[in-house]
């Protein structure tokens, strides 16, 4: 190989490497600009004061334009293991313990997983009550238990559990799984 070929190969390799590194420096700001800023991430969270919700009551709040159901369970509901449906009765079986971070509070996204309707509360004597309390979707008849698990109807999945964590005993932040997120 002559000296001219070695020099030409070196120049081609150097130019290619320089162009590649330059492209990365040009693309990095573009890619980084697509990540949400800290102010956008902060706006995508909502902090709820749980002192406003008495045991046995439920509150619906808005998070990212979607309803979120927050249910304050009573000590009787927590102690009554008979009300927990066996996994074999569920269409999307998951243990009830995996649906909450604190047994006093059930927090689920209030959107039916069938066609996106908003379920209503199913209490004894009310519309959609089928022997257990929870939620009922009046659009197509999906029944969810008190943990948001699908019991019957056309909905394919359980109600979604949004990311959340307890800031303290009286406040929950919806939108992040932990303070470090």
d(C-alpha 125, C-alpha 132), whole Å: 11
CA 155-64-135 angle, to 5 degrees, is 35
**pLDDT(181) > 80:** no
For residue 140, what are its two tokens?
């197509």
How far is Cα 35 from Cα 71, in angstroms, rounded to an integer? 33
pLDDT band at 70 (very low <50, low <70, confident <90, very high): very high
pLDDT at 42: 60
Tell me: the pLDDT tens digits for 60-69? 999 888 999 9
Q: By CB neighbour count within 10 A (0-12 exposed, 13-18 middle, 19+ buried), where does 31 fall? A: exposed
Contact partners, residue 13, CB within 8 Å, separation at least 6: none
Q: Where are the domains of the chain?
A: 3-35, 41-174
pLDDT the model gives residue 68: 93
pLDDT for 33 beyond 60: yes
Task: Find, among 69, 66, 65, the residue nearest to 48 by Cα.
Answer: 69
- Give backbone dihedrals phi and psi of 100, rounded to 5 degrees, phi first: -145, 160
In this predicted structure, the answer to whether residue 21 has a pLDDT above a threshold of 90 is: yes
Closest CA to 56 of 106, 101, 97, 96: 106
Q: How high is the pLDDT of residue 120?
A: 84
Average pLDDT of the chain is 83
Checking if the pLDDT of 40 tops 70, the result is no
Cα Rg, the chain, nearest whole Å? 26
pLDDT value of residue 129 = 58
Tokens of 22: 């330059």
CATH topology of domain 41-174: Rieske Iron-sulfur Protein (2.102.10)
pLDDT interval class at 105 (50, 70, 90): very high
When pLDDT is averaged across residues 44-59 and rounded to a whole number, the result is: 88
CA distance 175 to 43: 9
Which residues are tagged catalytic? 140
Distance CA 145, CA 165 (A): 22
For residue 45, how far is the Cα from the chain centroid? 12
Q: What share of the chain has pLDDT > 70, as a percent?
A: 86
């Amino acid at each position: 190989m002559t000296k001219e070929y070695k020099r030409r190969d070196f120049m081609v390799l150097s130019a290619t490497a320089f162009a590649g590194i330059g492209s990365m420096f040009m693309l990095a700001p573009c890619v980084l600009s697509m990540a949400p800023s800290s102010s956008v991430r902060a706006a995508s969270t909502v902090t709820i004061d749980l002192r406003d919700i008495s045991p046995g009551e439920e509150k619906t709040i808005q998070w990212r334009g979607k309803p979120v159901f927050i249910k304050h369970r009573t000590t009787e509901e927590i102690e009554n293991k008979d009300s927990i449906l066996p996994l074999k009765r569920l269409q999307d079986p998951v243990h009830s313990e995996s649906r909450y971070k604190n047994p006093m509070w059930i927090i689920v996204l209030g959107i039916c997983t069938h066609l996106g309707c908003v379920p209503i509360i199913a209490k004894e004597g009310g519309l959609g009550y089928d022997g257990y309390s929870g939620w009922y979707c009046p659009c197509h008849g999906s029944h969810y238990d008190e943990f948001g698990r699908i019991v019957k109807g056309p909905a394919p999945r359980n109600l979604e559990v949004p990311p959340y964590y307890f800031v303290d005993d009286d406040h929950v932040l919806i939108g992040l799984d932990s303070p470090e997120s």
